[in-house]
Each structure stands twice: as structure tokens, then as C-alpha cells.
Homo-oligomer: A and B are copies of this chain.
């Protein structure tokens, strides 16, 4: 009932050597991981199967909705003509840069706001404002300011990330226990030291939650940037296919986008484990 909370795995009472316990646990972990993977693939297979079946039976018009086999066909084609790797590379680079830039700016500002309740109160409505601007609406300005090259996609990607990163980092920073701040004070910590030695590590969990969340935003931002103006990239490919009403190709582009997102979020997960060794993961 509470398997995940009890710290020891249930074992029967016969005494066993440690080595065998270790082996069993490693095997259990592996089995657990395989079960998860199996379920994921199963789920995916069922979804795709239903979709394919529905379109092949004309229950869904394949023209309107595409079908997995057509999507696969486009993926193969995109792979063969090299556009898949090229477009994914372009968009991936824009995303990565926007992700890094947005998170660095947002997190740093969000954490820094911890320094002053007053400034954070003053700034609060401006942050809400920034977070609610439909940047797509400002496409004309984005193009004028940032041009039609990498800069405009970077700007879009960064903008999509920065507010989330800021708000989450700020929430993490202000969530630090007052008593722990008091402890730092009794140790003679300057405010700057409270910040570096307490606020930053204590906010890491929140910051990583923000990082995981913003992977998708950075990607969407980059793609929106490509919608505004572009010569290549996944957004360009998707938008073009969409305008020509080639739905399976739209989906093929979306599939590549998702794979990109999964890859980036995998990287963030690795980073988290590396930076927070004291934290329990499973």
C-alpha cells in the first residue's frame, strides 16, 4: 500500500547474505525500469494502432488527420533528404540557447529578488505583465528589433522561458525557512552569504522543476520564432506543411519536436541528479 514510503524493500525473514540482497535489488530496479518502458511502448503502440486503424477504415479521414503510416513515411523521407537532421539541428540549437539564456536570466533575477522584499513587490506587476504578453502579437516588433535570423528565435525562446524561470526561482528563494536564515545570522553570515550558502542550494529543487518545465516552452518559443520568420528549422517545416494542408507532415514535424523535448528533458534530469546528490530520486 505504501511501498514507496517504506525505506526497505519487503524481504522475507530468512537470513541472506548481503551480496545476494544486493543482486536482488539491482535486478528489481532493472525489472522496474523495464516494466515502465514496456508500459510506455505499449501505450504508444495502442494509441498509434487505434489511429492507424481508424484512418484505414475511413472512420477518420486520413486527409484531415493523417495516419501513423503516412507520418512514418514523411519521417523516412525527411531523414533521407537530410532535412530532418538539419531542421532538428537548427531548432535544437535555437531552443538550447533560448533555454539556457532564459533560465539563466530568469533564475538569476528571481533569486536576486530575494534580496529585497521591496523591489520584488515593486517589480511584481511588471513580471505578471511580461508573463501575459502574447509575444506572437508583437511579431512585427520582434522582427524589427531582432531581425529574421537566429536572434529573433532566440528572443522568442528566451521570452517564453524567462518569466517561468523567474517566478519559480523567486518562489523557491522566498520559500526558505526563516529559522534557517536565523541560523545563518547566528553564524555571522552576511546577506550575500545567506544567499549563496542557503538560498541558492535550498532553491535548487524548485529551480530544477522550472528547468524541466521550460524545456517545452523554449522549444515552443523557438518554433513560434520560426513561424514569424524563418528559412529553416522544424517550425518552418511544420508551418509550411500546415499551410499546404499536408497534415501527416505536420505531425512528422511535431514528432521530431517531441523527441527533441524528451532528449533535452533527459539531459536536465541527469544534471539534477549530478547537482543534488543528497536528494532522493527514484
Interface residues of chain A, those whose CB is within 8 Å of chain B, are 1-5, 7, 32, 35-36, 39-40, 43, 64-65, 117-118, 121-122, 125-126, 128-129, 131-134, 136-141, 144, 163-164, 167-168, 171, 175, 178, 181-182, 185, 191, 205, 209, 212-213, 215-217, 219-220, 223-224, 227, 235, 238-239, 242, 245, 247, 250, 253-254, 257-258, 260-262, 265, 282
Contacts and interface: CB of A to CB of B under 8 A. Distances in A.
B235 A134 contact: yes
25 contacts: A2-B185, A32-B118, A36-B118, A39-B118, A43-B122, A128-B212, A128-B215, A128-B261, A132-B215, A132-B219, A132-B261, A134-B224, A136-B223, A136-B224, A136-B227, A137-B238, A137-B239, A137-B250, A138-B242, A141-B247, A141-B250, A163-B216, A164-B164, A167-B209, A168-B209
Contacts of A168: 209, 213
Contacts of A224: 134, 136
A128 B262 contact: yes
A64 B144 contact: yes
Contact of A134 (B64, B134, B257): B257
Contacts of A261: 128-129, 131-132
Nearest to A117: B4
A40 B118 CA distance: 11
Contact of A121 (B36, B131, B175, B220): B36
Contacts of A39: 118, 122
A114 B250 CA distance: 34
Contacts of A64: 140-141, 144
Given A125-B262, A175-B205, 4 more contacts: A36-B122, A128-B215, A133-B254, A167-B212
Nearest to A194: B2
A227 B227 CA distance: 13
B242 A137 contact: yes
A28 B198 CA distance: 30
A167 to B, nearest CB: 5
Nearest to A237: B137
B2 A181 contact: yes
